[in-house]
Structure 1
Amino acid sequence: MSVDDIVKLIDAITKLLSVLVYPAVLLFFLIRFGRDLSEFFSGLGELSFKGAGFEASLKRKQAEAAAALAAAAISKPGESPNSEAAVQEAKAAVTVVSEAVNPRIAKRASRARVLWVDDRPSNNIYERQALEALGVSFDLATSTEEALNKIERRRFDAIISDMGRPPDAQAGYTLLDKLRAMGNQTPFIIYAGSKLPEHIAEARRRGAVGCTNSANDLFELVLFAISRKVDKKWG
């Protein structure tokens, strides 16, 4: 490994540490990835290099977003971080970010505001950090009523919602149905516990961009939504 490679690796590790705010998550990340950790950091290093100007800034944002997505994958509530699916999603974060983020998308993201509706917003810290790394701003709401009040006061580029919020087991659909009945066509994404084909089909039938429980998928869906360009893979 050359000196330049070492510099890139250290820079990437620094960015990862900056988003892994919980020591327990960082400790798990270091232990669980083991030999794969070098490959992950090397991937981040490819996104992060010394330089000046917009390109260097974009690469830095990509590295920060990838690190946050990896953290989201291994700290998902209700799922063991030791699961193979969680590990594979974390390792895929670099590829997802590098393919989804280009200068046009980054510029649009830097001006975007997204409403995130979830009665437990602390469950989505890393997912928000991944998008905030690109400049996306968030408003948070913990209920359907609060979300509707915020939507009445300002325009959002996209809305993310969980599904169940007591006492409504389908609160995500309740909010979506009310918005569409009002004529509000803001891109709407369900971020809940499933991405089974039948659940994705139901979400789209009701007018959502998509439905997923994957941080990587969510990242892509939001970027497509705020750019007003939904890729064919999502419908």
Structure 2
Amino acid sequence: MSVDDIVKLLDAITKLLNVLIWPAVILFILIRFGRDLRDFFSSLGELSLKGAGFEASLKRKQAEAAAALAAAAASRSDGDTNRESAAKEAKIAADVVSEVVTPRAIRRVSRSTVLWVDDRPENNIYARQALEALGVNFVLATSTDEALKRISRQRFDAIISDMGRPPDPRAGYTLLDHLRSTGDHTPFIIYASSRDPEHVAESRRHGAIGCTNNANELFEMVLSTLGRAV
């Protein structure tokens, strides 16, 4: 199974999970696509078939978030991802979700609103879907100017930004520095191409929570941030 096939499959899973027959859909997918995906979903714990009950709702949110995170990891790969490594990424995503997506976490982040600033928002579809599954709402901006206009009109619980946006290779810091200089202390996370220690340290000196290029780490950072903000 190629990387594109895996991404398309996981994207289809997140969409199909929105229908009422989601347990049957999952069962079909597990049978059709073999052991890798069976292992992925089994790591989430047994999916409940209790209809509209709370346990079923929680498991559904976990499954949606984990599938989207796995797709995010595959979509950001360097093109060398094979079936084994894709299955590994799916397992990591499932482990992250099972650890941090609790009833309390969902209550705290549900209905939060996050501004995501990136000149190529299509690159972050799956990472957004993972958080949207838990009730997080996103407003998108593709430039620093657009972001500032949105911030002037609306309060956000957190801001996620890439780093370089033409013509500014440090646009993430340009936006962050402007906000901090005007007294705006909205939690700020940089989601770019690096998570090297020196870049993490630099982002914190500018006033960000941190920076990462890893979808699972971003997911954890956003949940932690929103949990403190509400």
1:19 aligns with 2:18: no
After superposition, the C-alpha distances for 1:104-123 in whole angstroms (9 at most, x for unaligned) are: 21012212000000000000
Q: Which residue number corresponds to residue 38 of structure 2?
A: 38
Q: Which residue of 2 aligns with 1:232?
A: none
- Equivalent-residue separation in structure 2 for 1:158 and 1:34 (angstroms): 39
Q: CA deviation at 1:39?
A: 1.2
Aligned twin of 1:10 = none
Secondary structure of the residue that 2:43 maps to in structure 1? helix
1:50 corresponds to 2:45 = no
Q: Which moved more, 1:181-190 or 1:53-62?
A: 53-62
Residues 103-114 of structure 1: matches in 2 within 5 Å? Answer: 103-114=103-114
Q: Which amino acid aligns with 1:114?
A: V
Structure 2 counterpart of 1:162, one-letter code: D
Residue 227 of structure 1: CA displacement?
1.1
Which whole-Å CA distance do the structure 2 matches of 1:225 and 1:191 have between them?
Answer: 14
Measured against aligned partners, the alpha-carbon deviations of 1:21-63 in whole angstroms (never above 9, x if no partner) come to: 9xxxxxxxx9xx974333113224x163112432321121011
Give me the CA root mean square deviation: 2.5
The separation in 1 between residues aligned to 2:34 and 2:194, in whole angstroms, is: 29
**Which position in structure 2 is the counterpart of 1:95?**
95
Partner of 1:193: 193
- Change in 2 beyond 3 A, CA 1:163/1:15: closer
- Structure 1 residues 85, 173: CA separation in 2 closer, same or farther (over 3 Å shift)? farther
Q: CA separation in 2, counterparts of 1:78 and 1:181? A: 37
Q: 1:225: which partner in 2? A: 225
| Correspondence for 1:126 | 126
State the alpha-carbon separation in 1 of the partners of residues 156 and 93 from structure 2. Answer: 26
Separation in 2, partners of 1:153, 1:55 = 38
Q: Which amino acid aligns with 1:163?
A: M
Q: How many residues align?
A: 205
- 1:20 deviates by 7.0
Contact 1:189/1:211, CA 8 A, preserved across alignment? yes
Which residue identity is paired with 2:71?
A: A
Q: 1:47 touches 1:60 (CA, 8 Å); kept in 2?
A: no
- Aligned with 2:228: secondary structure? coil
In 1, distance between residues paired with 2:116 and 2:64?
20
1:71-86 counterparts in 2 under 5 A?
A: 71-76=71-76, 78-82=78-82
Cα 1:85–1:116 change in 2 (3 A) is farther
| Cα distance in 2 for residues equivalent to 1:103 and 1:144 | 35
Native 8 Å contact 2:36 2:87 kept in 1: no
Gaps of 5+ in 2: 1-8, 17-29
- 1:110–1:136: 8 Å Cα contact kept in structure 2? yes
Q: 1:19 is matched by which residue type in structure 2?
A: T
User: Any idea what the Cα deviations from partners look like across 1:48-98, whole Å, max 9, x if unmatched?
Assistant: 311243232112101100000001111116554339776533320011011
Alignment-mate amino acid for residue 17 of structure 1: A
Task: Please say if residues 15 and 63 of structure 1, whose CA atoms lie closer than 8 Å, have aligned partners that are also in contact.
Answer: no
Q: Give the TM-score, by structure 2 length.
A: 0.81
Question: Which residue identity lines up with residue 58 of structure 1 in the other structure?
Answer: L
Larger CA deviation: 150-159 vs 85-94: 85-94
C-alpha spacing 1:135/1:15, structure 2 compared with 1 (3 Å):
farther
Q: Give the TM-score, by structure 1 length.
A: 0.79
Q: Which has the higher contact order (CA 8 A, sep 6+)?
A: 2
